[in-house]
A = this chain, B = another copy of it.
């Protein structure tokens, strides 16, 4: 099936849904999925619209122009149009922990992720064999105190040369520079552990153990300048008890991390995530 997916948002007013769905219907498109949300506080409108183009009178080349005409009526409308193909190209950045990387590659192999796994970039060589098992090119770029800028330049060059659309930090244990983050805003997904209450400082699992928390979790979010504070895409938790040693917390954390990251990447690649300020609308 040939489909078009439109994500759009603007200040709410009468007639937005009618205008866009009428446009689709007029040209013979059949709506497969429509999800909309109006934020009561900000009076902002969000919509995800998917339609079947099999009988469409408009070719793929003509649709963007036609959408632009409709969008113009709603002054501040931001929109993004995509088709099933070509699939978004994904780069996974990792360090040494295999669980998130293996999980993403396995999900891709099983057809769960609507993207191309274009390459893995790591600052260690440990995960080369894993990547290669899944036929994904592996680039090892070691990072030291002294070469950080050069290493990042090399990473950015690789991303650009390979037409990457999305960067997934799969337990990548280096902090990206503000310039990197800024250049790829809204296109980097990170996973980090989450606790109730939150713990500041090193060794959070040890703190969680000492504090006797009964739940641990993970949060997948877009990366912004403020570390670990970007728009949240997916969160989940699991129960823990005094019986769980620190290593058990870490094991349970891994399970939640890969589940949450895998889900966030899937939702992003299906174009189900709209960012609004510091939060997301996930359709």
Residues of A at the B interface (CB closer than 8 Å) are 12-19, 21-22, 24-26, 28-41, 55, 98-99, 102, 106, 109-110, 112, 129-130, 133, 194-198, 209-215, 217, 219, 229, 231-237, 241-243, 245, 251, 254-255, 259, 278-282
Contacts and interface: CB of A to CB of B under 8 A. Distances in A.
A259 B262 CA distance: 14
A242 B196 contact: no
Contacts of A237: 196, 215, 217, 237
Contact of A231 (B28, B212, B241, B255): B212
A209 B277 CA distance: 12
Given A17-B21, A212-B278, A98 B109 contact: yes
Given A102-B106, A109-B98, A217-B215, A28 B40 contact: no
A136 to B, nearest CB: 13
Nearest to A251: B112
Given A255-B259, A279-B212, A110 B129 contact: no
16 contacts: A13-B30, A14-B25, A14-B55, A17-B21, A17-B25, A18-B24, A33-B38, A35-B35, A98-B110, A102-B106, A133-B133, A196-B196, A196-B219, A214-B233, A215-B236, A242-B281
A198 to B, nearest CB: 5
A25 B15 contact: yes
B106 A110 contact: no
A236 B217 CA distance: 11
A235 B33 CA distance: 25
A13 B278 CA distance: 38
Contacts of A112: 251
Contact of A235 (B18, B31, B213, B235): B213
A93 B220 CA distance: 34
